[in-house]
Copies of this chain bind each other. A is one copy, B any other.
């Protein structure tokens, strides 16, 4: 009796653990394939095989390719947020801090261009199955910008709501343009920096 045989029935149970592990493997497989060859290289049969899961199971968890990729992006955005909490953006003014965050984020994304392209492609697909995951990504991105605007003190962020929304749009659009080859990396950064200064300089 020293090693409680069935501890409390509140532990997940082996089946649930297996299921969670499968989901994790699926996201990992998708990310790896995306990093290697971009959107087209993420083929559902390959993802399933790489995660050692049946194709039907993949579709049970992620009901479309775009949903899968957006979920992977959401996970990555969360991790970016976590890293930013550890090393907060530097800069005296809101505009400087926002610029710093966006620049860092872009550098990280440019380091894995294929993966970024795949995930941004999925993010800008109109697939309604992916809507929930897209909301999550949007929310995370806006939180990241909001945290940069108020340098971890402050209160009245609500005043910046419009700025926040506009900056979010510019971020997504520049990313999308970069992925589509319409904008180079430096141009993307330049547009983002310009937007941050236009929207934030001379305000609060």
Contact = CB atoms under 8 A, between A and B. Distances in A.
Category for how many chain A residues contact B:
20 to 34
Contacts of A166: 166, 170, 191, 194-195, 198
Interface string A162-204: 1101101110111011011110000000010011001100100
A125 interface: yes
A179 B126 CA distance: 6
B181 A173 contact: no
A121 interface: yes
Interface stretch (A56-64, A104-112, A127-135, A150-158): A127-135
A199 B199 CA distance: 6
Q: Which of A138, A169, A170 has the most CB of B within 10 A?
A: A169
A156 B125 CA distance: 38
A117 B126 CA distance: 8
Nearest to A168: B173
Contact of A163 (B174, B179, B198): B198
A76 interface: no
Q: Which of A131, A170, A173 has the most CB of B within 10 A?
A: A173
Contact of A165 (B121, B134, B138, B194): B194
Contacts of A125: 121, 124, 180
A199 B165 CA distance: 13
A17 to B, nearest CB: 34
Given A121-B126, A170-B173, 11 more contacts: A121-B125, A124-B180, A126-B181, A127-B180, A128-B181, A131-B180, A134-B182, A135-B182, A166-B191, A168-B173, A173-B176
Interface of A: 39, 117, 121, 124-128, 131, 134-135, 138, 162-163, 165-166, 168-170, 172-174, 176-177, 179-182, 191, 194-195, 198-199, 202
6 contacts: A39-B126, A138-B182, A166-B194, A172-B176, A176-B176, A199-B199
